Amino acid sequence: MEKQTLHATSFQYNENGKSYDVTFHANKGFSSLATSRLTADSVANEKVQKAYVALMPYETKIMEWLSQSSDNGQKYLENPILAIQNADIGIPQDVIQMIKEASDVLLTTIKK
């Protein structure tokens, strides 16, 4: 079941024999993460915020790519950074790198 609108795309995701309905919302996307304080570490928060601000101009392209097939959504759920890097939707490599670095810092901070 796939459903797309200008602001959302939905599909079914299957994992370990279970099926889940997944919806990505553009209006609940990157902008909320860009202003969130995800950890008590201000340096990690700043890196994540800068990375999401850099990614915000590409949110519509990501939503369009997600709405093209449930396979794209599944790839995004499994590894969002790799998925958008491989999607070839015009996100510059420096923005992808910024997202990778922010993700690494966030994961390291959370594991402390």
Could you give the C-alpha distances from 97 to 30, 46, 83, in angstroms and in order?
Answer: 17, 15, 13
Two tokens, residue 49: 């915020």
pLDDT digits (tens, 9 = 90+) for 38-90: 666 777 778 888 888 888 889 889 988 988 888 888 898 889 999 999 999 99
CB 109 within 8 A of CB 41: yes
Q: Which residues pair with 22 in a beta bridge?
A: 11
Domain boundaries, position 15: 3-111
Greater model confidence, 73 or 92: 92
Give the total number of structural domains in the chain.
Answer: 1
Per residue in 94-106, pLDDT (tens digit) is 999 999 998 888 8
- pTM (2 decimals)? 0.67
Question: Distance between alpha carbon 112 and the CA centroid of its chain, in Å?
Answer: 23
- pLDDT at residue number 105: 86
C-alpha to C-alpha distance for 112 and 107, rounded to whole angstroms: 9
**pLDDT at residue 89, rounded to an integer:** 94
